[in-house]
Structure 1
Amino acid sequence: MKTTDFAVYLNKYFTQYMPNERGNSPQSIDSYRYAFILYLEYMESVRKISAERIVLSDFTRETVTGYLNWLGASRKSSPSTRNQRLAALKGFVHYLKYEFPDYLDEYQRILGIPLKKTLRKEISYMKTDGVNLLVEQIDVARTNGLRDYVILLILYTTGIRVTELINIKVKDISLTQPYTIRIHGKGNKGRYVPLMRTAVPHIKRYLETMGYDNEARYEETLFNNHMKTPFTRQGINYVLKKYGIKAKKINSDLIPDDLSAHKMRHTTAMELVTSGVDLMYIRDLLGHSSVVTTEIYARTDAKLKRKAIEAASKEIVPPEDAQWDNNNDLKTWLKNFNKR
């Protein structure tokens, strides 16, 4: 069967452009891949065009808006999910507009499709007392306990992403002043994150216990599971929840039900903001591409402070919302591509 231009360029987009030219992470590629699997399903079920017959001239604003409406009506997708799917399709359009300038007008029409407004979720994070209680549940006398303690220590003191944590290699740790970890972030962008002086003895002990102070092992992953293989995101979250269950039995108010590595990241960011650390420094520490992303923590802190002030003065000051609060087979190939 003849391969269509749509199939050819979708293949190039996922195998060459995203990983090589854009430097997208496997997680981003997975998200975009799934958006196109659903697009192919829409074209087959609604437009009656099989995946093998779709051509680039079928990829129009009309089919894209139809797809988005189908997501909401048939799949009950939320506005935020719908926006994620649209972002994936727009990414493909940005690639195509340089390859096919004749279709530029249509591609500009697709890029002009607006995002749906979504409610901004409240940032969920832990208080210091909750983190302390969580740490107290770890038996550092056990090898796995020491490993888990260092995992939690690094997550809490650096605010790195869980995907960044599981990719740390022994050689990325520098225990000579200034103490740092080299982090491999989104888009393969590297950055150095400082280690707290108080964390260094625990990390050093872990390296010695595991035999990682041997130069021959510098290329190995810093944290491995019970099968001696690198942790997955789910594995790290399992470790956290294991200690979270123990801690909740002592004080359920301090430990959230949805404890995760990402919540630890929020916790770190909020503690930095409430301590008065400059947003530009927090941006660099967390690896945000823009300080705009970091500002969400400052807005949350401002809202919490406002609520505290209102609670203290509610008898003399009528409640009022702060203004800033509300300003706010191609298909088979896709399904199997990038599987890990």
Structure 2
Amino acid sequence: MRDEALLGPWIRRFLLEHVIAERNLARNTQQGYRDGLCQLLPFVAKRVGKSIDRLNVVDLSAELIRAFLTDIEVTRRCSIATRNQRLAAVRAFAGFVGEHSPVHIEWSGQIRSIPFKKTDQAVVPYLEKAEIDALLAAPDRRTEQGRRDYALLLFLYNTVRERQRRSASRWRTWT
């Protein structure tokens, strides 16, 4: 029971077994989860007055995690997207612990119920004909890399244009 209560072995298993071996998550995701937990642990240890290696799973309360998320937004001036990434790591960790330890199912549920914040969707502007022409003229087509870049840009432009054409034709059939 004592081993199940300590946080360290769970984090080790999560990062090595679950994130890498079981889920085979992308390297950036692995590092993001690791970095998020590396930021969270000192915060929690300071708040509960324990050293990091003495933290228990239940020391990561939903209240402390909310305080951590607020802290990274306010003190560190992180964006909502970064806050949500840190929360994703913590929620994934809580899900892993809850899945492997029936003792921690209620704790896992409390952590996983912390909501993500909504972010504004960036408006993706369209390019005018002159801007597209300038973009396509930029690569030096006398070089191999320039021909490659030109081909990729032309492919992307034609793909978007085709998608818009299909979308417009579907709209006409519905009206």
TM-score (norm 2): 0.76
| Distance apart, 1:153 and its partner CA | 4.5
CA contact (8 A) 2:91 2:111 kept: yes
CA contact (8 A) 1:40 1:51 kept: yes
| Distance apart, 1:108 and its partner CA | 0.8
CA distance in 1, matches of 2:88, 2:40: 13
Kindly report which structure 2 residues correspond to 1:1-340, keeping only aligned pairs within 5 A, or say none: 5-127=6-128, 129-153=130-154, 156=157, 268=160, 271-277=161-167
Q: Secondary structure at the match of 1:37?
A: helix
| Distance apart, 1:45 and its partner CA | 4.0
Change (3 A) 1:50 1:128: farther
Q: Which moved more, 1:91-100 or 1:27-36?
A: 27-36
| Distance apart, 1:118 and its partner CA | 2.8
CA RMSD of aligned residues (A): 2.7
Change (3 A) 1:12 1:139: same
| Distance apart, 1:141 and its partner CA | 1.5
Q: Secondary structure at the match of 2:120?
A: coil
Change (3 A) 1:108 1:138: same
Q: Secondary structure at the match of 1:276?
A: helix
CA distance in 2, matches of 1:136, 1:25: 35
CA distance in 2, matches of 1:69, 1:272: 44
CA contact (8 A) 1:60 1:107 kept: no
| Distance apart, 1:148 and its partner CA | 3.1
CA distance in 2, matches of 1:46, 1:85: 18
Amino acid at match of 2:19: M
Change (3 A) 1:139 1:17: same
Q: Secondary structure at the match of 2:123?
A: coil
CA distance in 2, matches of 1:78, 1:134: 31
List per-residue Cα deviations over 1:260-294 (Å, max 9, x = no partner).
xxxxxxxx3xx45432349xxxxxxxxxxxxxxxx
List per-residue Cα deviations over 1:87-128 (Å, max 9, x = no partner).
111011111111111111111111111222333322245345
Q: How many pairs are equivalent?
A: 165
**More helix as a share of residues:** 2
Percent of residue pairs identical: 24
TM-score (norm 1): 0.43
Change (3 A) 1:11 1:124: farther
Amino acid at match of 1:14: L
CA distance in 1, matches of 2:18, 2:155: 33
CA distance in 1, matches of 2:158, 2:10: 43
Structure 1 gaps of 5+ residues are 159-267, 279-340
Change (3 A) 1:121 1:143: closer
Q: Secondary structure at the match of 1:275?
A: helix
Structure 2 gaps of 5+ residues are 169-175
CA distance in 2, matches of 1:155, 1:111: 39
Q: Secondary structure at the match of 2:166?
A: coil
Q: Which has the higher contact order (CA 8 A, sep 6+)?
A: 1
CA contact (8 A) 2:58 2:107 kept: no
CA contact (8 A) 1:43 1:50 kept: no
